Amino acid sequence: MTPEQEALVGLAAEIFAGRTSNEQLAAVERSESRWDAALWRELADAGLLGIAVPEEHGGAGLGLLEVCLLLEQQGRFLAAVPLWETLTAALLIADDPVAKEWLPKVAAGEARLSVSPALEGSDGLVPGPFDAAVAVDGSSVVLATEVESVPVETTTHALAYDIVSADSTPLDVTAVRVQDVVRVALSAVQLGVADAGVQEAAQHLTGREQFGRPLATFQATQQQLGDAYCDVQAMRATLGQAVFTLDRCDVDVATWWATDAGERIQHTVQHLHGGLGADITYPVHRRLLWTMRTNALLGGPSRQLVRLGAALL
């Protein structure tokens, strides 16, 4: 990463760590909105909601890579905010005239956006788990502004925009391209969830003893966690390839790793936590819930192999 990207990751991690304790997450889950408006405001004040917003609209003018770095941190801390929905939508409409009205509101934390990519195989599920705006068709962005966290205006805007890849090559935005951007974003969230889960399991096994030895010294636990670690590295490598190319096959491969390895990792993490893995007062269960929800949005690992096979044929 560049120094600027490292600073972005460090700032995001610091903010998320301060507002995503087990007690804070539980309180948000019990709230009516089920998302953290105070955290959203803090992200806006730090300039993180505007990273995909052009500089002329009050943002940082960064791209998909930086968006994915931020989303990985969201997944790492399980931050209950409609972040990936808003950031991907802002990225997709950055060059459109409609941006003059909406993107400054996004950067200021006054508007939330959502994408309805009609992901193939997702059984009609749409983004919006944290009370974000929800779109209604296969190639649209929903724009919603809010006052004191209460939505007061909603507009559906059909996509007819250009987005730019990492090498500044213009790309036609169709429903398929919207799907690819969203799938990459969700894979970044899944990477953060998985990587942090493996680290938490390692810490748990190191500090817990059985037969007078730390559980981490037993070969069976080492092998399981070693396999999970390798899965995380494959998720990271294939996601990086997909971010930089936005090639359909690369996106399919990255999404398959995110869905297949992501779910396998969380089952391993829960198993290695023993009875704590099933205790809803302990935070580890949230990682499996996030993983299963993301897999539902993406359509699961088998769907990714079907898409990849069709693309290769």
What is the structure's pLDDT at 63? 93
What is the structure's pLDDT at 283? 81
Domain count for the chain, please give it: 2
Query: Is the CB of residue 312 less than 8 Å from the CB of residue 249?
Result: yes
Last residue within a domain, chosen from 171, 188, 211: 171
Closest-CA residue to 120 (of 254, 304, 263): 304
Mean pLDDT is lowest, of 52-66, 99-113, 156-170, 181-195, for 156-170
Give the CA distances from residue 268 to residues 69, 190, 226, 239, in Å, rounded to whole numbers and listed in that order.
Answer: 25, 15, 11, 21
DSSP secondary structure code for residue 121 in this structure: T
pLDDT tens, position by position, 248-268? 899 999 999 999 999 999 999
Q: Do 132 and 211 sit in the same domain of this protein?
A: no
Residue appearing with tokens 């096979």: 309
Q: Do 156 and 32 sit in the same domain of this protein?
A: yes
Contacts of 178 (CB under 8 A, 6+ apart): 92, 115, 117, 139, 159
DSSP-based three-state secondary structure for 203 = helix
Query: Is the CB of residue 115 less than 8 Å from the CB of residue 127?
Result: yes
Q: Do 141 and 189 sit in the same domain of this protein?
A: no
Q: Do 158 and 268 sit in the same domain of this protein?
A: no
Residue 287, pLDDT above cutoff 80: yes
Question: pLDDT confidence of 99, banded at 50, 70, 90?
Answer: low
For residue 258, the tally of other CB atoms under 10 A from its CB is: 31
Q: Do 7 and 156 sit in the same domain of this protein?
A: yes
Contacts of 158 (CB under 8 A, 6+ apart): 137, 139, 140
| CATH number for the domain harbouring residue 78 | 1.10.540.10
What is the structure's pLDDT at 148? 40
Q: Do 9 and 38 sit in the same domain of this protein?
A: yes
pTM for the predicted model, two decimal places: 0.85
Closest-CA residue to 70 (of 2, 16, 130, 145): 16
Residue appearing with tokens 């770095």: 69
Last residue within a domain, chosen from 124, 147, 171: 171
> Cα angle vertex 124, ends 122, 129, to 5°?
85
Q: Do 86 and 232 sit in the same domain of this protein?
A: no
| CATH number for the domain harbouring residue 300 | 1.20.140.10
Q: Which domain holds residue 261?
A: 175-312
Q: Do 186 and 54 sit in the same domain of this protein?
A: no
Last residue within a domain, chosen from 122, 148, 171: 171
Q: Do 251 and 295 sit in the same domain of this protein?
A: yes
Burial of 156 (C-beta count, 10 Å sphere; 0-12/13-18/19+): middle
Q: Do 66 and 150 sit in the same domain of this protein?
A: yes
